[in-house]
Structure 1
């Protein structure tokens, strides 16, 4: 899938180009070809230098145009992340994220998932636990997971990144990604955010059989 970037000045950063050699960058939402919206393409929105009102206005405009949006921030913060997701973004990451991480974000979003920085997943999980504390917890059926898959899932529940999981379990990041793909399929989940919530007995929109 083609990757489209929206940034003031229309400059494609080196890391973006390294992650997606065929990526295109635009200065204004109106410059993006109409067919991209019809295909529900992903637009990476660089909010560097924008104040709160500007970034919300820009984000809402892009979402309303039919795109799935990943917000890119120079100074990622919890409040800004939740603000972006609440306004319709499907992803939130650092504007200078490593190319490998950008490709990981693209893969998750392309499959209908939600992507956030691992540390923010932990924050979201904590907030959700407080909000749902009075409800009877769900107990996901985890018997389908192997011992290693369960260990990976438990690390995600703690908010660990793929690199941290690899170091803790003495496996490669590629293996971690492979385990996560299998876990999502077995538990009928879309992304690590849902997995973290499920592992902590917080009900999600996706039920687990």
Structure 2
């Protein structure tokens, strides 16, 4: 079964270029294109795609509001697109429920890989922006608020010790395989821990788990690995 995709960007050349790349893949079908946020929301409602590629800056309804509506009203997963490697709106887009973030100059293979990863239930951030996006933006937002306790937030109290450690490693950018090796457990066990973390903390995906870990003080800026978040294709076990 093909991965169904809607591509939304106010620049027609960008939109059509991404569509051509994705449509050329045997397992991906672009079911619609949209030129603004409102049209993107409408096309998602009309076609029920698996993935929405969504420009973060568009006239009228922007990508953030469109992502918020799509994630609240459907099971479609959203990958945000931007020209900048640190966009001040990216944090809000991820908090709205987006599962990925890519630069518009992404390589062809990386674009296809991102769609497959996100459609498979994982999350993905462009490696070039992972550390700055997650660590620096959240650090600045936390600094703007009142000082917080030095220990992890009470929000994490529902987690077991092993689940908390899994969240810590996930927030550092480790893949399931790397977490398994660190904890000396199977990847299947890691997947169970990650699933439990998301369920107990009421999080949509791994990206929101990373944000939660930083906001709770479980990890600090500088601890994110170079590889990104969820950048490997999901394994099948």
Secondary structure, aligned partner of 1:77: coil
Q: CA deviation at 1:161?
A: 4.5
Q: Give me the whole-angstrom Cα distance separating, in 1, the residues matched to 2:21 and 2:185.
A: 30
Q: CA deviation at 1:168?
A: 6.2
Matches within 5 A, 1:160-199: 160-162=173-175, 165-166=178-179, 169=182, 176-199=190-213
8 Å CA contact 2:91, 2:137 repeated in 1: no
Q: Give me the whole-angstrom Cα distance separating, in 2, the residues matched to 1:84 and 1:15.
A: 27
Q: Give me the whole-angstrom Cα distance separating, in 2, the residues matched to 1:28 and 1:57.
A: 9
8 Å CA contact 1:2, 1:23 repeated in 2: yes
Q: CA deviation at 1:58?
A: 7.0
Q: Give me the whole-angstrom Cα distance separating, in 2, the residues matched to 1:173 and 1:195.
A: 18
8 Å CA contact 2:114, 2:124 repeated in 1: no
Matches within 5 A, 1:32-181: 34=42, 36-37=44-45, 43-45=52-54, 55-57=57-59, 60=62, 63=65, 67=70, 70-73=79-82, 76-79=84-87, 82=90, 85=93, 90=98, 91-94=100-103, 95-96=106-107, 97=110, 99-106=112-119, 116-117=125-126, 118-119=130-131, 120-135=133-148, 138-142=153-157, 144-145=159-160, 147=162, 149-158=163-172, 160-162=173-175, 165-166=178-179, 169=182, 176-181=190-195
8 Å CA contact 2:167, 2:213 repeated in 1: yes
Name the residue aligned to 1:24.
31
Q: 1:131 to 1:191 in 2, by over 3 A?
A: farther
Structure 2: 5+ residue stretches without partners: 72-77, 218-237
Name the residue aligned to 2:229.
none
8 Å CA contact 2:34, 2:43 repeated in 1: no
Q: Normalized against structure 1, the TM-score is what?
A: 0.58
Give CA-to-partner distance per residue, 1:16-45, whole Å, 9 cap, x none.
754952233536459879563367755313
8 Å CA contact 1:157, 1:196 repeated in 2: yes
Q: CA deviation at 1:103?
A: 3.2
Name the residue aligned to 2:4.
2
Q: CA deviation at 1:125?
A: 3.0
Structure 1: 5+ residue stretches without partners: 48-54, 204-209
Q: CA deviation at 1:130?
A: 1.5
Q: Normalized against structure 2, the TM-score is what?
A: 0.53
